[in-house]
Amino acid sequence: MLELTMATVSGTEEGATAGMLMADAPSEPGAVLRVGRDKSVCRLATPEEWLFVSRVHLEFLCGPEGVWQVSWLRGSQPDPSSEVRLVVGEYAQTIAYGGTVRLPRGGNGEIVVTDRTGPRSVNVGFYHEA
């Protein structure tokens, strides 16, 4: 099972959890959870006016061994207006635009999407059951 929580943070609201959204999916091959502005395909949707987030920005996909990965999908622009980082404990890694990273099995952490033009972020916490 992969459990996600998402909070959108703007300016002075850092650390606020108001409006937190949650989603989960079983760790079965082919299971998918998406994060982005398009509510028709994303289980976790950001505000529509937050253009630093693509219509479908992040895709969590369960592989054949029940291990989850996250991909930062390429949007319509050649250069992104955001940055995406994976944070697990003290470890932090930038995810490349169009890149994919495996999530630690039996672990938790956060994917942080930061607006390059202002003090806004989308914080997606994850817990991947062993």
Rounded-to-integer distance, Cα 19 and Cα 39, Å: 16
pLDDT the model gives residue 13? 54
φ, ψ at 90 (rounded to 5°): -85, -10
pLDDT the model gives residue 130? 67
For strands 2-10 and 21-25, give the pairing.
antiparallel
pLDDT the model gives residue 71? 98
pLDDT the model gives residue 20? 80
Of 125, 80, 75, the residue nearest 103 (C-alpha):
125
pLDDT along the chain (130 residues), means of 10: 92 58 94 96 93 96 93 90 94 95 90 92 90
CA distances in angstroms from 77 to 32, 43, 56, listed in the order given:
24, 23, 13
Rounded-to-integer distance, Cα 55 and Cα 91, Å: 28
pLDDT the model gives residue 104? 85
pLDDT the model gives residue 17? 46
Rounded-to-integer distance, Cα 59 and Cα 81, Å: 18
